[in-house]
A and B are shown apart, each in its own frame.
Chain A
């Protein structure tokens, strides 16, 4: 900061004061900030301030090979990295006209849903912590860790797996993996009632979260809200079903919705999605052994791969909402332009600023966490 910042002439004579939420604040997800002006405990205005996690991904990707970027993309959203890989791979496959083998598609679906489970457990754990209920967070993170174990077994990496490559996946599913996955699902399912009793049906939590950061369906559509946050306003929209990719059109699952549009509804939607993800995973475990075949299609030498010129816009449903990649190729060995449309770029900026105004100081962190915004997606 500059010297003049410390030597102003006058204070604004006013009834309001400022508080900074973040970047170093437990009421914020990750390294992000927003400044609120308050009177008493009522928020008069809120202003988001990002860029703390800015690495210039889109610039970096223009300077690296197509295949190198696979290692880069999962870093864009740390809690839910798999959709990033899948979406980027899908974009390249579309440009290059690659036909992904069916087995690889099923493995990808399995991985996506595992990632969604992990992200949701993390998300409502975080939300519980903002309301002072650390036990939920401790349980949620510990259970998420069991999913990470399965990730590690499948891909070799706990968080960043770099497992999806254009044309398929890197490795075959290990022996016995599906059984262990199945027993993990049994365990998770047996834990759900515990979470319900501790958290989702906790009267104090319901009292805290109800009507917090509520938005109507019209507002949600107007502000570009997607994902569970949109479903919490009652609109059953899911990219997996309405703009299907991979093999989601062959799977049987529901799209849970809640009518409230508030923090409570958003959490309940995530809670129901846990169940749906488990359901999808069970179907995958059932079908995967019967689908034989290669796990990736042949691709050219990745170090000298000139992807045909063109552009593609691919979308997947990440745990936060609609994730999209716009990739432009001019036929070179590096992308000409990659644009990442993270769902949080709406949620963490505009929606948050709008919802925070008029809310209470107690609820600001809850709004942020219930939107499950992921700052690195915003900053890129």
Chain B
């Protein structure tokens, strides 16, 4: 039965024009879809094809394209296959629709993406900060946030240069590459 469902789904998805369909192996499917059609597709997957488990939502910051890519990984316990639905939305203003009413786990992922990327999901039950409650800087996972520069600006390093090391250096040994250079 699950095999039939798979075939049915493959045929269906191949037929829809706005959907790019790509089967990688028996248990992985990649689907590319326009952002306006995504909720409908997920509803179809969940309601008609038993993809009830939302494994994850991933956000990828394609800064050069000025886009966020959202990847919804949904899993079917019946067909035992995973569909990754890719969509792209413009980086600015960074607002998208929540799929909380379809998949409850989306609440966590959307909240996470919101605080890490600043991408707002309309209709998500809770867009408050969770991990970065005491963080005032920009959303850190954006590619334009340079973590290393932030660190160099805010922290300094332990200077560890004990006598034995100095002795070694006098003999011509010691650390050849300074820690700063490694970094």
The answer to A–B direct touch (Cβ < 8 A) is yes
> Among B6-14, B51-59, B87-95, B171-179, which stretch is in contact with chain A?
B51-59
Q: Determine whether the beta carbon of B148 is less than 8 Å from that of A337.
A: no
Of the residues A336, A341, A379, contact of B55 by C-beta under 8 Å: A341
Q: Which residue of A lies closest to B81 (CB)?
A: A243
> Among A183-191, A221-229, A279-287, which stretch is in contact with chain B?
A221-229
Contacts of B103 in A (CB 8 A): 224
Chain A contacts with B in 59-88, Cβ cutoff 8 A: 59-60, 63
Chain A, interface SS category? mixed
The CA of A50 and the CA of B128, in the complex, are separated in Å by 12
Q: Determine whether the beta carbon of A313 is less than 8 Å from that of B60.
A: no
Contact mask B41-63 → A, CB, 8 Å, 1/0? 00000000000111110111100
Residues of B within 8 A of A (CB): 27-28, 52-56, 58-61, 71, 73, 77, 80, 82, 84, 103-105, 107-109, 112, 116, 130-134, 140-141, 145, 147-148
Of the residues B71, B108, B147, contact of A346 by C-beta under 8 Å: B108
A242 interface contact, C-beta 8 A: yes
Q: Which residue of A lies closest to B143 (CB)?
A: A62
A273 interface contact, C-beta 8 A: no
Contacts of A51 in B (CB 8 A): 130-134
Of the residues B54, B60, B107, B133, contact of A336 by C-beta under 8 Å: B60
Top 9 nearest A-B pairs (CB, nearest first) are A224-B105, A51-B131, A341-B56, A339-B58, A326-B58, A337-B60, A54-B131, A242-B80, A50-B131
Q: Determine whether the beta carbon of B108 is less than 8 Å from that of A349.
A: yes
Q: Determine whether the beta carbon of B131 is less than 8 Å from that of A324.
A: no
The CA of A322 and the CA of B53, in the complex, are separated in Å by 11
Q: Which residue of B lies closest to A58 (CB)?
A: B141
**Beyond A324-B56, A326-B71, 20 additional pairs, beta carbon < 8 A:** A50-B130, A51-B133, A54-B131, A54-B132, A223-B105, A224-B53, A243-B82, A311-B71, A326-B58, A328-B60, A336-B60, A337-B61, A339-B56, A345-B108, A345-B112, A346-B108, A350-B104, A350-B107, A378-B131, A379-B131
Q: Determine whether the beta carbon of B104 is less than 8 Å from that of A223.
A: yes
Contacts of A315 in B (CB 8 A): 55, 82
Q: Determine whether the beta carbon of A48 is less than 8 Å from that of B130.
A: yes
A49 interface contact, C-beta 8 A: yes
The CA of A221 and the CA of B107, in the complex, are separated in Å by 15
Q: Which residue of A lies closest to B86 (CB)?
A: A311
Q: Determine whether the beta carbon of A221 is less than 8 Å from that of B27.
A: no
A56 interface contact, C-beta 8 A: yes
Return A268 CB to nearest CB of chain B, in Å. 22
A237 interface contact, C-beta 8 A: yes
Of the residues A50, A56, A243, contact of B27 by C-beta under 8 Å: A243
Contact mask A337-380 → B, CB, 8 Å, 1/0? 10101000110011000000000000000000000000000110
The CA of A346 and the CA of B108, in the complex, are separated in Å by 7
Q: Determine whether the beta carbon of B60 is less than 8 Å from that of A59.
A: no
